[in-house]
Structure 1
Amino acid sequence: MNQKSEHYWVEQLELIPHPEGGFFKSVSQPAEIYHIKEGYERPLYTSIYFLLNDESPSHFHRLKSDEVWYFHAGDPLTVHMLHHNGHYNQVKLGDTLENNETLQFTVPKGVIFGSSVEDQGSYSLVSCMVSPGFDYEDFELFTQAELLKDYPQHELIIKKLAFEILPD
């Protein structure tokens, strides 16, 4: 199989750094607006290309909308989730279904999550669709200290996928 490099995808798709980690490009947003409540409107959905590598994971964050992840190319990617009740679980996106990988997965709104690829030199290209549509006002990044206060039992994954200090 002829696997393209991560640099190929970054260049061809014109991806730029994302504040949570990885590289992205917004690719779809309809004209329709979803009226959630007075003063709170969002596009019906938004969609991005998103590329993560072993040096740049998606750091722990939370959205106010569901986010559907679609695997496209590269290596398997793990979505790590911290739930309100303290439960941690993970889902592996990839195209090797016999290894319990899945081609798509929906992260429920309100769940704290981050994503990573494991092996040195590996990357994963996915698309992420958010409905109602993404807005940075609905995006919350977390520090290690914030998460360790509520989820001390998950220290290893928090230290791997949460910022010590939030980026500017």
Structure 2
Amino acid sequence: MSTTTPLSNSQLIASLGLIKHPEGGYFVETDRQPDEVPTPFVDGKPPRSLATSIYYLLTHDDPNGVIHMNKSVTYHVLHHGRAEYTLIHPTSPPRIEKVVMGEDVSKGETRLLLVGTGVWKMSKLLPVDLAMGDKNTTGCLITEVVVPGFHWEDHQFLTMDGLTDLFKDSPNAEQHMDMLAPFVRKY
């Protein structure tokens, strides 16, 4: 039986060398494969790393990311904590899915989440965890593996205009806009 005391968020940030992420939370790149593949997204662009990985941490003080999309496939692997992911699938009208990354599979939580190409996503700590948890240790740490490897050219933040356009033909457009607008990046 382990008697190790969990690290505080500030200790975790320092020990892993995490920095603020433009999407919200904290991150550090942990691997960038030297082998490259042609980009499947834009002809004539430089090749991409075969894969990249990062640690990504949401904390009590920085509890959510903003809606964004990667053209590459992204695997999310849970280390500790819980977070709710909102996924917006590119169907007509768009389909919204909520997935909780966590350890309690009996409640439908998952330790591994695959987000396919072209899917908008954002993550946030659960309100119940923020309300009941210790401010210094409440958080969610995951590893993200991106294939082909992450490149800013293959990434996009959702704007308010993009959100409006995305749900323009949705029968519940106003409801979706109200729910998602707080998580659109403010420039």
Q: What is the TM-score normalised by the length of structure 2?
A: 0.81
Deviation at 1:8, TM superposition (A): 1.8
Give the letter for the 2:83 counterpart: L
Aligned to 1:69: 76
1:87 to 87, 95, 98: 95
Aligned to 1:132: 148
Deviation at 1:157, TM superposition (A): 3.0
Structure 2, unaligned runs of 5 or more? 168-172
How far apart, CA to CA, are the structure 2 residues paired with 1:62 and 1:157?
A: 18
Deviation at 1:123, TM superposition (A): 1.2
Give the letter for the 2:147 counterpart: S
Aligned to 2:11: 8
Deviations 1:78-103 (Å, cap 9, x if unpaired)?
11111122110011111122221111
Aligned to 2:50: 44
Aligned ranges 1:138-153 → 2 under 5 Å: 138-151=154-167, 152=173, 153=175
How far apart, CA to CA, are the structure 2 residues paired with 1:157 and 1:8?
A: 33
State whether structure 2 residue 160 is matched by structure 1 residue 157: no
How far apart, CA to CA, are the structure 1 residues paired with 2:123 and 2:151?
A: 19
Stretch of structure 1 that moved more, 139-148 or 38-47:
139-148
Stretch of structure 1 that moved more, 20-29 or 141-150:
141-150
2:67 touches 2:121 (CA, 8 Å); kept in 1? yes
Deviation at 1:35, TM superposition (A): 1.6
Distance 1:123 1:148, change over 3 A: farther
- Tell me the C-alpha RMSD between the 2 structures: 1.7
Deviation at 1:56, TM superposition (A): 3.8
1:67 touches 1:130 (CA, 8 Å); kept in 2? yes
- 1:59 alignment partner, SS class: coil
How far apart, CA to CA, are the structure 2 residues paired with 1:116 and 1:124?
A: 9
Give the letter for the 2:51 counterpart: Y
Give the letter for the 2:82 counterpart: P
Deviation at 1:27, TM superposition (A): 0.3
- 1:105 alignment partner, SS class: strand
- 1:58 alignment partner, SS class: coil
2:29 to 26, 30, 53: 26
Q: What is the TM-score normalised by the length of structure 1?
A: 0.89
- 2:47 alignment partner, SS class: strand
1:33 touches 1:41 (CA, 8 Å); kept in 2? yes
Deviations 1:126-158 (Å, cap 9, x if unpaired)?
010000000011110112342133223412331
1:53 touches 1:116 (CA, 8 Å); kept in 2? no
Hey, which bits of structure 1, 4+ residues long, moved more than 6 A? Answer: none
Q: Which has the larger radius of gyration?
A: 2
